[in-house]
Amino acid sequence: MNKTLFGTDGIRGIANQYPITPEVALRVGRAVARVLQSNGGGRHKVVIGKDTRLSGYMLETAITSGLVSEGSRVLLTGPAPTPAVAHLTRSMGCDAGIMLTASHNPYQDNGIKIFGSNGYKLNDQLELEIEKMILADELPHPEGDLGKAIRIDDAMGRYIEFTKNAVGANSLSGLKIVVDCANGAAYYVGPLIFEELGAEVIQMSVHPDGRNINEGVGALHPEKAAAMVREHGADVGICFDGDADRVIFCDENGEVIDGDRILCLCAKALNEQGKLKGNTLVATVMSNLGMRDALAADGIKLETTGVGDRHVLECMREKGYNLGGENSGHIIYSDYATTGDGIMSALMLLTMMRDKGEPLSKLADCMEVYPQVLLGLDVTEKPPTEEVPEIDAAIKAAEAAFADKGRVFVRYSGTERKIRVLTECPDAELAKSQADLIAAAIKNTIGA
């Protein structure tokens, strides 16, 4: 049985429309509790966090009701970054963690991510068990005592101390930074962590109203922070997405730094310190070929996975690597975190700047970026591209045009009704023309 509710990053959709409804959310709570019970033990403890979307109140209440009806104890953190919920799940001895977020999507969307007791996202088997129960015609009537839900007032304090301890006291003294929190989950903890470590912080997008999350700001719109960096003469700009599991940087000149450059410089820095396990960086197939060549020059291997931080993390865990990520801004330091953590990644980069005494612009000059075109197109359906003759022919024509000096990558989004088209080769005009031809084929066949 294939999963129909769970995508690459939990359950996601438009709030108050199936499956992101209070009815489904209540069933999620009951299903999680029952799956935990079936895996042994009695009462279970589940921590629930959320970003700043208005619909978070609806989902939090419904999931809590489902869990409590099945006897679970629920710990509510309020607004919290996704990596904070993953950390708290493990550090507070919880049996599961649930994060309510649609990450970088607009406020109308929301989603449900579930973590196991180890702080990692659930594996496919457990997601399938939960999904079967959610979709069942009827669930057995709850038996036994009811559970209880309580607010954890010091939840964010625990995460703040955890992140600070990773880099040491006053480690950011002398740095002036712009922090754009996207009116999302990091609006409180993000600036506070940097300030407590000694940085001078210029705050942006820290006034969420339930509807302005990701709206023209944050990781999707780093140009706003870049302008603030130039205006205030800051050393760096740091832009989070709505749940702060990814981060985009701007250098001291207000230039947005490509995510692959950040991964590359982080890998090189860990390698210099002798801390890069397996002498390997894990990234996705979307990363620039220039990064592979730059790493190879330093004797560092690049291992690639399918798109999604979940695939990156699975590879890291399986093979014992400790650094990986996506060029979209997910960076995973597995020595510290069980998922992408924007705040932790920013701290690592800032301490690197301090230790080397070099500006970000110089550190980021670590690779040549090959010309790349990335398009996102709305679609009405998601058939395999090889089964749509016009699209398949356009892809094969592009591959022939690039030969062995470039690549084509076409995939559907796991969370949206979109298709991504990536072309890459040393010739920028050729990369663009081939991407446009593939896009035209898509629009003519399955385009929205």
Catalytic residue numbers read 103
Collapsing DSSP states into helix, strand and coil, what is residue 32? helix
Q: Tell me how far the alpha carbon of residue 75 is from its chain's centroid.
A: 23
Cβ distance 305 to 312 under 8 Å?
yes
Element (H, E) at 282: strand 280-284
Side-chain half-sphere exposure of 199, counting CA atoms within 13 A: 30
Q: What is the largest CA-CA distance in the chain?
A: 67
Long-range own/partner contacts, residues 162-170 (CB < 8 A, 24 or more apart): 162/87, 162/91, 163/193, 163/341, 163/343, 163/344, 163/347, 164/193, 164/196, 164/197, 166/336, 166/344, 166/347, 166/348, 167/197, 167/347, 167/348, 167/350, 167/351, 168/351, 169/197, 169/198, 170/197, 170/198
Q: Strands (DSSP E) along 200-254, which ranges?
A: 200-204, 236-240, 247-250
Residue 19 preceded by cis peptide, ω within 30: yes
**Cα–Cα distance measured from residue 11 to residue 184, given in angstroms and rounded to the nearest whole number:** 19
